[in-house]
A and B are shown apart, each in its own frame.
Chain A
Amino acid sequence: MESVVDQGWADVERTYQDEGPFEIMPIAYSIEYKEKMDILRTLMKNNEKSERALKLTEDIIALSPSNYVIWKYRQEIIKELNVDLKGELNLFVEYAEENPKCYQLWHHRQVIIEKLNDPLDELQFIHDMLQYDSKNYHAWTYREWIVRHFNLWDEEIKFSDTMIKDDDRNNSAWNYRFFILTEKPDNDIEAVLKDEIEYAKQKINFDPTNQSPWMYLKGIIEKSKYKLADFADELLPFCENLQKIEPYKYALEYQLYTNESILKTLNSEKEQEQQKDICRTICSKLEECDKIRKKYWKYVRESY
């Protein structure tokens, strides 16, 4: 029977997979995969770093892209050979479409870019990848790495805005906005706080049922030197206005957090008790309109 692997491997012994005397859950490997792996094991044993080894890893990646062993060996070969690193990036594109959530693919890309020490056009590339899946966790994680590693913070707030405009419920984009504003070296949250509150309010007005801007609003204020209570005069009426027609649970939640924050500023027992009453009333409303979290809201109410 003719081998599926070409004659270039005649000199290489085969190292068969040793799964022990009697294995569980054997995989019925295709002849092609089995034979290529048998050769690869020998190459890895002999520590062969050659063009043909590089080519073989590519063949196997095509059959099993999440096999971390092959990726690691490939990275070792690349280290020794004078490989065109930019060409390596094309390999990623070839498999990323079908395996966008493969840890190995993304990590490989990071290793290559780190070696090139050049961010190239990676920000555009990630943007393109996010067109397929705008919430791809690996893509966002990789973008954060690129921005941190190469100090590319400047255009990123704009980018978060582009992504939020595409889908204002994309929580990954909101998290990214928070990341840029709070992790950027020498950031000054207080300086942008007013604008960010305005930004979140605008998105909430657009769709009060969207949890992401609500969380962002609370998060960004708490990250600054201010407390929620410091913005009560502006944000409590904002929540109440929204609810003139129907109750929005995230607006109620926000009212609760703000009132809780006010509670912490009060000194007299009488004032505290009145404030607790306000909090308890909001919790009761939440118990009504957020049924699935009834036990949680009851706990919060009883904790005052």
Chain B
Amino acid sequence: MGVLDLPFSFDEISFNDGGIQTESSLVQMEVENDVKPLFQPYHVLEENRINYDHINLNRHAHIKFLRVGLKGLSSQAVGLDASQAWICYWILHALDLLGATLSKSEIERTINTISACQNPTGGFGGGPQQFSHVAPTYAAVNTLAIIGTEEAYNVVDREKLYEWFMSLKQPDGSFQMNEGGEIDVRGCYCVIATAKLLNILTPELTKDVAEFVASCQTYEGGIGGYPGNEAHGGYTFCGLATLEILNKTDYIDSEALMEWLTSCQMKLEGGFQGRINKLVDGCYSFWQGGSFPLLEAIYTRNQEQFDPCGFFDREALQEYILLCCQNQYGGLLDKPRKSPDFYHTCYCLSGLSLAQHYYNYDTIQNDFKENPELTTIVGKVSNLIRATHPVHNISMVKEKRITSYFSNSSIVNIGSNESISSSIEIITNKPKEEQV
């Protein structure tokens, strides 16, 4: 599969505006015109085609780009002052996927900075002394999980964090992003995914979350940010991953979701659009691509028969990321002509990882298992990067480590009639060596 192997000229699979030009069709054609020359040399009909075994992930340049970020950001990054925890996560996760090892100093400094973002209330702010917000809290905990040491894990004050999460909970099951802040499906994912890693998921915290998420599924099949909003790749992943954690994927219409999701892969570009009739963007390689393992898990649990390699064209997605989203000096990007940044570097690589690795859902252990026999690599064999976890988007290894670390420290309700805040106690017992 893949687009480069299709024995048609690219013009045949180009967007057809039916003679009717609108703003949408004009920008779509511009993108296709940027993509075609990047694909052409590798196309099967090209006379002196370059063997696509030569397609290369510019790993060293990307590692360098990310490492420069860790050293420090220029004054132009001031707009990201409230996104420092996010940048840490984007850079560290990308480095982890690329197989780079962090130095002792990088680890120590990251722990320092993430600790400085933590508030006495238990949540994390986007930077030091900034009040808590669920999005940077998710990013901070994922960053600590990527570091993966006991010292990193112990930065989190789980009891306080739990209380803070509960304070954001709304009557309809959703969560505010911060005190007085906006409400959408991102909030559900950030809270539930973080709580899952830290083993602080309780019935009170998860109450009605699935109902709220399900109410955001639209007539298109995808999930919007809030009931009534348009179906959108980012919110779809957030919603679906939340339901997967809660074991409540039966709350949505998975057939309709699959229909919509598969229709978001672009026929020429091979990457994904985030909404219908929008343009391809490298970051949706993860946000849309990431919903496939989750949906395939549902199909597996329902004992449906489907292609052993899943539902989307994994080669085509890799072609788009490798040929259209790499900056030659390092970093990955949205689409040709755009500049690289840490966000797109993180999510293009996360999407690449999902397209390379195939995950089977293990219905006995109720967990995702990588199936190495179905690994698919476009280009050089050395393009293979680490497998990312389809729910948490940290590497499989790091997800296992943190969940096993906290598996024995659970939150227990003492007496169901007492008030929520007083009924919660964290019991930490058994050293982790006892776990297998």
Q: Which residues of A contact B (CB under 8 A)?
A: 15, 17-30, 33, 37, 41, 63-69, 72, 75, 103, 107, 110-111, 134-135, 137, 140-141, 144, 148, 166-172, 175-176, 178-179, 183, 206-212, 215-216, 218-220, 222-223, 290-296, 298-299, 302-303
- Beta-carbon contact of A171 and B258 below 8 Å: no
Within the complex, the shortest CB–CB distance from B74 to chain A, in Å, comes to 6
Instruction: Collect the chain B residues with CB atoms within 8 Å of residue A24's CB.
Output: 70, 88, 106, 109-110, 112-113
Bound complex: CA of A23 vs CA of B106, how far in Å?
9
6 cross-chain CB contacts under 8 A: A141-B229, A148-B228, A167-B24, A178-B219, A206-B20, A219-B220
- Beta-carbon contact of A293 and B263 below 8 Å: yes
Bound complex: CA of A64 vs CA of B263, how far in Å?
37
**Closest residue on chain A to residue B128 by CB atoms:** A19
With A25-B91, A295-B307 in contact, do A137 and B265 touch (Cβ < 8 Å)?
no
Interface residues of B in 1-53 (CB under 8 A from A): 1, 3, 6, 13, 16-18, 20, 22-25
| B225 at interface, CB cutoff 8 A | yes
| B366 at interface, CB cutoff 8 A | no
Instruction: Collect the chain B residues with CB atoms within 8 Å of residue A220's CB.
Output: 219
- Beta-carbon contact of A295 and B312 below 8 Å: yes
- Beta-carbon contact of B23 and A134 below 8 Å: yes
| B429 at interface, CB cutoff 8 A | no
Bound complex: CA of A19 vs CA of B110, how far in Å?
10
Instruction: Collect the chain B residues with CB atoms within 8 Å of residue A209's CB.
Output: 16-18
**Closest residue on chain B to residue A222 by CB atoms:** B219
Query: Residue A168 contacts which of B22, B71, B106, B181 (CB distance < 8 angstroms)?
Result: B22
- Beta-carbon contact of A302 and B305 below 8 Å: yes
Q: Which residues of B contact A (CB under 8 A)?
A: 1, 3, 6, 13, 16-18, 20, 22-25, 69-75, 77-84, 87-88, 91, 105-106, 108-110, 112-113, 115-116, 125-131, 133, 177-182, 218-220, 224-226, 228-232, 258, 262-263, 265-267, 270, 275-278, 304-307, 309-313, 316
Bound complex: CA of A27 vs CA of B74, how far in Å?
6
Instruction: Collect the chain A residues with CB atoms within 8 Å of residue B275's CB.
Output: 135, 171-172
Bound complex: CA of A68 vs CA of B287, how far in Å?
24
Within the complex, the shortest CB–CB distance from A41 to chain B, in Å, comes to 6
- Beta-carbon contact of A299 and B81 below 8 Å: no
- Beta-carbon contact of A30 and B277 below 8 Å: no
Main secondary structure of the interface of A (DSSP, over half): helix
**Closest residue on chain B to residue A211 by CB atoms:** B276
Query: Residue A137 contacts which of B18, B133, B219, B232 (CB distance < 8 angstroms)?
Result: B232
Bound complex: CA of A208 vs CA of B6, how far in Å?
24
- Beta-carbon contact of B220 and A175 below 8 Å: yes
Query: Residue A29 contacts which of B75, B108, B181 (CB distance < 8 angstroms)?
Result: B75
- Beta-carbon contact of A25 and B276 below 8 Å: no
With A17-B128, A68-B82, A293-B263 in contact, do A170 and B277 touch (Cβ < 8 Å)?
yes
Instruction: Collect the chain B residues with CB atoms within 8 Å of residue A134's CB.
Output: 23
**Closest residue on chain B to residue A65 by CB atoms:** B79
- Beta-carbon contact of B78 and A22 below 8 Å: no
**Closest residue on chain A to residue B265 by CB atoms:** A292
- Beta-carbon contact of A219 and B219 below 8 Å: yes
Q: Which 9 A-B pairs have the closest CB atoms?
A: A219-B219, A20-B112, A169-B24, A24-B109, A175-B230, A167-B22, A67-B82, A171-B276, A20-B116
- Beta-carbon contact of A292 and B266 below 8 Å: yes
Bound complex: CA of A220 vs CA of B340, how far in Å?
41
**Closest residue on chain B to residue A45 by CB atoms:** B129
- Beta-carbon contact of A298 and B307 below 8 Å: yes
Query: Residue A210 contacts which of B83, B133, B266, B277 (CB distance < 8 angstroms)?
Result: B277
With A137-B232, A171-B277 in contact, do A107 and B181 touch (Cβ < 8 Å)?
yes
- Beta-carbon contact of A293 and B307 below 8 Å: no
- Beta-carbon contact of A144 and B88 below 8 Å: no
Instruction: Collect the chain B residues with CB atoms within 8 Å of residue A69's CB.
Output: 82, 125-126, 130-131
With A20-B113, A25-B88 in contact, do A296 and B258 touch (Cβ < 8 Å)?
yes
Instruction: Collect the chain A residues with CB atoms within 8 Å of residue B230's CB.
Output: 137, 140, 171-172, 175-176
- Beta-carbon contact of B265 and A293 below 8 Å: yes
Bound complex: CA of A291 vs CA of B267, how far in Å?
7
- Beta-carbon contact of B73 and A28 below 8 Å: yes
Within the complex, the shortest CB–CB distance from A280 to chain B, in Å, comes to 15
- Beta-carbon contact of A27 and B113 below 8 Å: no
Query: Residue A169 contacts which of B231, B277, B310 (CB distance < 8 angstroms)?
Result: B277
Within the complex, the shortest CB–CB distance from B275 to chain A, in Å, comes to 6
Instruction: Collect the chain B residues with CB atoms within 8 Å of residue A103's CB.
Output: 177, 182
- Beta-carbon contact of A140 and B229 below 8 Å: yes
Within the complex, the shortest CB–CB distance from A157 to chain B, in Å, comes to 15
- Beta-carbon contact of A167 and B23 below 8 Å: yes
Query: Residue B270 contacts which of A68, A75, A292, A295 (CB distance < 8 angstroms)?
Result: A292
- Beta-carbon contact of B278 and A171 below 8 Å: yes
Instruction: Collect the chain B residues with CB atoms within 8 Å of residue A29's CB.
Output: 75, 78, 81
Instruction: Collect the chain B residues with CB atoms within 8 Å of residue A135's CB.
Output: 275, 278
Residue picked from A148, A176, A291, most chain B C-beta under 10 Å: A291
Instruction: Collect the chain B residues with CB atoms within 8 Å of residue A167's CB.
Output: 22-24
- Beta-carbon contact of A292 and B267 below 8 Å: yes
- Beta-carbon contact of A215 and B276 below 8 Å: yes
